[in-house]
Amino acid sequence: MIHNQTIIKERPAPSSSVGAIAWLRTNLFNGPINTIFTLIGLYILYLLVVPTVQWAFLNADWIGTTRDDCSREGACWVFINARFTQFIYGLYPREEIWRANIVFAGFFTLIAWLAIPRLPLKRWVAVFALVGFPIVAYVLLHGGYFDMPRVPTHRWGGLMLTLLLATVGMVGALPIGIVLALGRRSNMPIVKSFCVVFIEFWRGVPLITVLFMASVMLPLFLPSDMSVDRLVRALIGLTLFQSAYMAEVIRGGLQAIPKGQEEAAAALGMTYWKRMGLIVLPQALKMMIPGIVNTFISLFKDTTLVMIIGLFDLLGIVQAALADSRWLGFSLEGYVFAAFMFWIFCFSMSRYSQYLERKLHTGHKR
């Protein structure tokens, strides 16, 4: 006789092991110590977030033109609004700003083109970015050609100057860095020791002394009838400093390429420069991109130091605006704005570098 067996119906998992409660249990409240940590964390979060939101958004003043439009209960973003053009372009003449805008647009288009993997013609765009664009940018920004009035470099400033210093420093440092890195791996003892001394010297001293050196000692090094623009002096200092760091990144990339690659190229009868240019560097550069982006981020942050030798980069111009007697007492707003701008750039670059690292992390594992 067959009993009429009833099949127990599928039941949902206990409510304590699925859904939000389970998540809370495993991630926030598993055990007494973690519970204490969670509570402390929540308290810290409360202490930080509530006053910040109140200050920056709820009690903040956004509209107006003078400091009287600010209630002073929260942030006074009117100050940033009123000074925005200056923060971006420095003391660049208002009626010439369109020239700076064209350079900005070209700059960001080129960067985006090179950064997005799907877009074609990478090589030609890169060549234009490194050779053609700097000339176009210089002609546009500096003027003096095609009926455009000259804008002397001491009027350049703000975010524009920050980006300019970082990009020129980087583009200038890359070839010097490649030469130094190759020299450091060379078999020729004198070449090698020159490169080691050069790299270790720049890596051993703070950037600020390099900038002091560029601004105080460079005029002594040159013939007395030759004078160098202050911006150019800062650029020379930044480039030399950066090239040493770049050399070490490139050396790291070169070391990651198996020696067999170079030996195979030598066996095919290639000369040194062919081996490097066609076999080793193309493979190594690909692996160096994350490292290069990281050095670029630190260079981007380091450009703030030029304000100490009297250039008005983004931080320098904010600092100068804070000293304006019409807008005294808004240092917090100024710094928060500058910090936000720097943060956006650095954070997105570091995310991009992490993405590249994941994407390029193939093929060279043994």
Partner 1 sequence: MSVSPNTRPAGHKPPFWRDRAKRALIFQLLLVAAVAAFLLYIVGNVQDNLSARGITTGFGFLGNTAGFGIVQSLIDYSSQSTYGRTFLVGLLNTLLVGGLGVLAATIIGFIVGIARLSPNWLLARLATAYIETFRNIPLLLQIFFWYFAVLRTLPSARDSLAFGEALFLNVRGLYLPQPLFESGFGLIPLTFLVAIVASIALVIWNKRRHEATGKRLPAYWISFLLIFGLPLLVLVATGVPVTWEMPELRGFNFRGGITVIPEFLALWLALSIYTASFIAEIVRSGIQAISHGQTEAAQALSLPRNLVLRLVVIPQALRVIIPPLTSQYLNLIKNSSLATAIGYPDLVSVFAGTTLNQTGQAIEVIAMTMAVYLTISLLVSMFMNWFNARVALVER
Please give the residue ranges that form the binding site for partner 1 (CB under 8 A).
27-28, 30, 34, 37-38, 41-42, 44-45, 187-191, 194, 200-201, 203-209, 212-213, 216-217, 219-224, 297, 301-302, 304-305, 307-308, 315, 319, 322, 331-332, 335, 338-339, 342-343, 346-347, 350
Closer CB to partner 1, residue 132 or residue 175?
175
Q: Minimum distance from CB of 345 to partner 1 (Å)? A: 8
Alpha helices (runs of H) in 187-308, residue ranges in sequence order: 189-204, 207-212, 218-221, 230-255, 259-267, 272-274, 281-302
Q: Minimum distance from CB of 22 to partner 1 (Å)? A: 13
Closer CB to partner 1, residue 109 or residue 227?
227
Closer CB to partner 1, residue 58 or residue 332?
332
CB atoms within 10 A of CB 323: 9
158: which strand partners?
313
Closer CB to partner 1, residue 97 or residue 208?
208
- Reduce the DSSP state of residue 315 to 3 states and report it: helix
- Reduce the DSSP state of residue 156 to 3 states and report it: strand
Closer CB to partner 1, residue 175 or residue 219?
219
Task: At 215, list the tokens.
Answer: 């601004």
**Residue type, position 84, single letter:** F
The answer to whether 63 and 78 are in contact (CB under 8 A) is yes
Q: Minimum distance from CB of 256 to partner 1 (Å)? A: 17
Q: Minimum distance from CB of 95 to partner 1 (Å)? A: 31
Closer CB to partner 1, residue 44 or residue 130?
44
The answer to whether 78 and 305 are in contact (CB under 8 A) is no
Handedness of CA 306, 308, 312, 315 (dihedral sign): positive
Q: Minimum distance from CB of 180 to partner 1 (Å)? A: 13
The answer to whether 191 and 183 are in contact (CB under 8 A) is yes
Closest CA to 162 of 302, 324, 330: 302
135 vs 137: CA distance, rounded Å: 5
Q: Minimum distance from CB of 332 to partner 1 (Å)? A: 5
Q: Minimum distance from CB of 158 to partner 1 (Å)? A: 14
Task: At 184, list the tokens.
Answer: 């450091």
Closer CB to partner 1, residue 45 or residue 136?
45
